Structure 1
Amino acid sequence: MTTIKDVANEAGVSISTVSRILNFDDTLSVGEDTRRRVLEVAEKLQYKKRNKRASKLGKQIVIVQWHTDKEELSDLYYLQIQYGIENKAASLGATIERVTYESIDKNRIKNFDGIIAVGKFDTTEVTQLKSYGLPVICIGENYLGYNLDCIRSDFETPVRKIIDRFIRNGIDDIGMIAGKELIVTEKQGVRDPRVATFNQYLKSKGLYNDKFVYQGPFGPESGFNLMTKAINELGARLPHGFVIGSDSMAVGVLRALQQHHIDVPNRVSLISFNDVAIAKYTSPALTTVHVHTELMGERAIEMLLERVKNPKKIPELIIIGTELMERESSI
């Protein structure tokens, strides 16, 4: 397992600085470049180095990301997916360039062989991406309705498994701290399958309480604010189990619980999503759902190459499974 010392050596900073950055310590005064370098090194060191000699595919692929760089660093999930894409591309000798949707050069993009769109895009944005006349592969949502190949994670199954796990361990008061996202151009809310499954599954068991569900932006600050609100509003009725929308939100949730001297996992058990690098370095370490972002990136490259060879191929939706990483934040 990669250690904080490994990250510190690679990033060229102290172990203390790495620890505080990985825990999103907002009292730490470091430049944005340093913060980005540490977070990126921590993520990259999770990937196994490939020993295969790269072939010379010669393809040029553009990754269109829906988040800004700053937004990516507050959540890291989409950054993980991009590393999966880049690793696979490097093993094939393909060239990758990253841009945001808003920074696309409409003239230059036509020089690429294909587009991998990472994130959530609305009708206006998908229509624009298709207008460039290049193969487009989407990661994050189901875009079969737009006649596009797409890949997403199975978030529904793990939510049901987490709830079942809590119940087996005697926890039937279960809450959720969930993320809420807006599509950039049309400002529409994005449906989160984790929230929908959580609500439906608990209702089917007669255990749902809407006062136990809190939503806000993804990120540690939001997680801190939402859990603080839950603690203040619910008091002794604070649920004993929480599903958290992402690891970065869970970092803030942990900080709020610790500030209120609420024991994790004995009083409140937490299970989050994504298994980004920070999940291993929190105290306690996070029990989290591992999303196979590297596999998502690999399959995106493979689907793009298949689409280049056969433009008339029937579009496919690939759903990638997940697995629970048991650590210290849950009983």
Structure 2
Amino acid sequence: MTTIKEIAQESGYSSATVSRLLNNDPNLSITADTKNKILEIANKLGYWKDHQEKKIRPTIALLYRVNHEEQLQDEYFTSLKQALISTVEAESLQMKTFYDADDLIKHASLFQGFIGVGAAPIENETLKKLHEVLPNGVFVDTNPAPELFDSIRPNLTLTVKNAIDLFLDKGYQRIGFIGGVGPKHDHIQEVDVRATAFAEYIKVRGKSDELMFVNGPFSVANGYKLGKEVLAKCKNKLPDAFLIASDTLAVGVLQAFNENNVNVPKDTAILSINNSNVVKYVSPPLSSYNIDQQEMIDMALNMLTNLIIQPNRAHIDVNMNTNLVVRKSFVPKK
């Protein structure tokens, strides 16, 4: 069994300092470099294998990446950020926020790990540099580098399948999908997982994927544009129901439908994803799949702590299920 004394001897710090750190003494004041070195030696000597009941309180960074181009989409990530800040404060952890990955790379030695929040593009080379200097990282809701870092994300594939099943269970035969394009990564345009899941599963259920409208960003303005496109193409024969990939798009679609006297859910039903605050106040209020942000944050912090004390373990990508919050735009069978 690895002892405090052995860690102290190899790290060059006193047994008292090592003991206070590993026992989470809130009054201990040491530099990040000292903390990093002691934790590195503790990991190397296998201290945590014999003390699995102990938790550490690492000093962490938040890498917060948003575009500031779409208020409702930013609201989602702002809410994630606030949930993280509140949890960190409640657990007496130390955290500093960075808005640029290069800036975090410069200050990496001050931290034991980081949490990534936001969907703004980040280059592969930057991610590799970040991994070299701060390999312990967990991304929340996105996963730009699954080979380098851990992540926790909502299970959007299962969400899409559930929505299709609910529509078909209600008797709707013509089901449409409205979505945006996926993120760009290293200048490569990715396909959004919700659109892919819809195209595949609607065929599995024996229906056509011809009623898909996928283009542009996840914004209210683009949702309005896509809503107009739907009306122009379908005219007086709208699909029985639509799954819309995000609340931001759904708000814009509703604006277009309301301007053209389309009655939701009488003329067409709508299900959306994210359950942001605004969906309670649009007309009609949207039934939307809720993403439990607090649970994602809690899991991300647990994953990061585990990664810090087991830095050589395989990286993991965890999917968390969503739950439907029913409002007037669609009411499934009871």
TM-score range normalised by the length of the shorter chain: 0.7 to 0.9
What's the CA shift for 1:166? 1.1
| Residues 208-287 of structure 1: pairs in structure 2 closer than 5 A | 208-287=208-287
Task: Tell me how large the CA RMSD over aligned residues is.
Answer: 2.4
What is the TM-score normalised by the length of structure 1? 0.76
What's the CA shift for 1:103? 6.1
Q: 1:315 matched to which residue of 2?
A: 315
Q: 1:77 matched to which residue of 2?
A: 76
Query: Structure 1, residues 188-242: CA drift from partner, whole Å, max 9, x if none?
Result: 2233221111101111233123343332211111111111111112202221211
Matched residues in 2 for 1:210 and 1:100: separation? 41
Are residue 131 (structure 1) and residue 97 (structure 2) matched?
Answer: no
Which region of structure 1 is more displaced relative to structure 2, 158-167 or 125-134?
Answer: 125-134
Partners of 1:271 and 1:329 within 8 A in 2: yes
What's the CA shift for 1:320? 0.9
Matched residues in 1 for 2:103 and 2:269: separation? 43
What is the percent sequence identity of the aligned residues?
24
Q: 1:106 matched to which residue of 2?
A: 105
For the pair shown, which has the larger CA radius of gyration, 1 or 2? 2
Matched residues in 2 for 1:112 and 1:70: separation? 30
- The letter of the residue matching 2:272 is S
- The letter of the residue matching 1:295 is E
The 3-state SS of whatever aligns with 2:189 is coil
The 3-state SS of whatever aligns with 1:76 is helix
Partners of 1:68 and 1:100 within 8 A in 2: no
Specify whether residues 63 and 262 from structure 1 end up closer, same or farther in structure 2 by C-alpha distance, changes over 3 A only.
Answer: same
What's the CA shift for 1:312? 2.2
What's the CA shift for 1:125? 3.6
Are residue 169 (structure 1) and residue 200 (structure 2) matched?
Answer: no
Which region of structure 1 is more displaced relative to structure 2, 70-79 or 315-324?
Answer: 70-79
Which region of structure 1 is more displaced relative to structure 2, 156-165 or 61-70?
Answer: 61-70
Query: Structure 1, residues 88-108: CA drift from partner, whole Å, max 9, x if none?
Result: 211111233333345625322
What's the CA shift for 1:165? 1.2
Partners of 2:73 and 2:248 within 8 A in 1: yes
- The letter of the residue matching 2:187 is K
Between the two structures, name the one with larger relative contact order (CA 8 Å, sep ≥ 6): 1
Q: 1:93 matched to which residue of 2?
A: 92
What's the CA shift for 1:315? 2.4
The 3-state SS of whatever aligns with 1:236 is coil
- The letter of the residue matching 1:86 is I
Q: 1:203 matched to which residue of 2?
A: 203
Aligned residues between the structures: 276
Query: Structure 1, residues 92-128: CA drift from partner, whole Å, max 9, x if none?
Result: 1123333334562532243223111224555334213
Gaps of 5+ in 2: 1-24, 27-55
Which region of structure 1 is more displaced relative to structure 2, 208-217 or 117-126?
Answer: 117-126
| Residues 284-299 of structure 1: pairs in structure 2 closer than 5 A | 284-299=284-299
What's the CA shift for 1:254? 0.9
Specify whether residues 146 and 89 from structure 1 end up closer, same or farther in structure 2 by C-alpha distance, changes over 3 A only.
Answer: same
What stretches of structure 1 move > 6 A for 4+ residues in a row?
none
Which region of structure 1 is more displaced relative to structure 2, 109-118 or 169-178?
Answer: 109-118
Partners of 1:212 and 1:239 within 8 A in 2: no
Partners of 1:72 and 1:78 within 8 A in 2: no
- The letter of the residue matching 1:225 is K
Matched residues in 2 for 1:160 and 1:90: separation? 37
Specify whether residues 214 and 316 from structure 1 end up closer, same or farther in structure 2 by C-alpha distance, changes over 3 A only.
Answer: closer
Q: 1:154 matched to which residue of 2?
A: 155
- The letter of the residue matching 1:139 is V
Matched residues in 2 for 1:105 and 1:312: separation? 22
Q: 2:22 matched to which residue of 1?
A: none
Partners of 1:271 and 1:330 within 8 A in 2: yes
- The letter of the residue matching 1:204 is V
